[in-house]
Amino acid sequence: MRIVAGAWRGRRLTAPAGNATRPTSDRARQALFDVLTHAPFAGRGAIQDAVVLDAFAGTGALGLEALSRGAAEAWFLENAPEVRRTIAANIAACRAGGRAHLIPGDALRPPPARAAAGLVFLDPPYGKGLVAPALAALVAAGWIAPEARVVAEIGADEASPDLPGFMLHDIRRWGAAQVLFVSAG
């Protein structure tokens, strides 16, 4: 696994051992960022200078990819200590310490926001219906800025969740994942 584009292109990232995480593949990450960059509902401005939240952060690859492509800062929210150690190692490998902030916490019961994010990545475990409750909890805690762009991953065989307060713009399927592109407001 590596950073696909931007300042840290080619930088290798690690993943925790075992099945605790399911990292988004390099190809899917490239496609996801291509959609964000070129879609009328997002555009390059959705990434450039953005405050990013990577919830259910796993390896931190989505937030680090956004930083590599010009995001101002990224907040990584992860509840598993062993997974947080991997994210910390990936942040260090990219030398992103000043712009990357790792927070222990659960996206379903997040701590109060330290910054409202304009770009949010949600990649929860598949098949558990966590996207809608996580979004509601993150909004309530102040993590999601008005008009934020949200990219949420669910399993390929899952029904799209009802997301009150969010507008669905696009759904893409890559491998075992469906990726929902939505915006707040």
The one-letter code for the residue type at 11 is R
Q: Is 2 among the domain residues?
A: no
- Domain of 117, in residue numbers: 26-184
Distances (CA, A) of 37 to 22, 32, 40, 54, 68: 24, 9, 9, 18, 14
What is the average per-residue pLDDT within 131-148? 97
Burial label, 85 (beta-carbon count in 10 A; 0-12, 13-18, 19+): middle
Tens of pLDDT, residues 60-118? 999 999 999 999 999 999 999 999 999 999 999 999 989 999 999 999 999 999 999 99
How many domains are contained in the chain?
1
Q: Is 161 among the domain residues?
A: yes
Backbone torsion region of residue 72, taken as left when φ is above 0, otherwise alpha when ψ lies between -120 and 50, otherwise beta: alpha
**Residues 143, 162: contact at Cβ < 8 Å?**
no
Q: What are phi and psi of 22, to 5 degrees?
A: -135, 80
Higher pLDDT, 26 or 2: 2
Residue 55 sits in a domain of what CATH number? 3.40.50.150
pTM more than 0.85: yes
Q: Is 173 among the domain residues?
A: yes
Q: Is 120 among the domain residues?
A: yes
Q: Is 65 among the domain residues?
A: yes
Tens of pLDDT, residues 16-38? 876 656 677 778 888 999 999 99
Tens of pLDDT, residues 45-73? 899 999 999 999 999 999 999 999 999 99
**Token pair of 38 as six digits:** 């070129």
Q: Is 169 among the domain residues?
A: yes
Q: Is 142 among the domain residues?
A: yes
pLDDT higher than 90, residue 137: yes
Q: Is 18 among the domain residues?
A: no
User: Whole-angstrom Cα distance, residue 146 to residue 5?
Assistant: 28
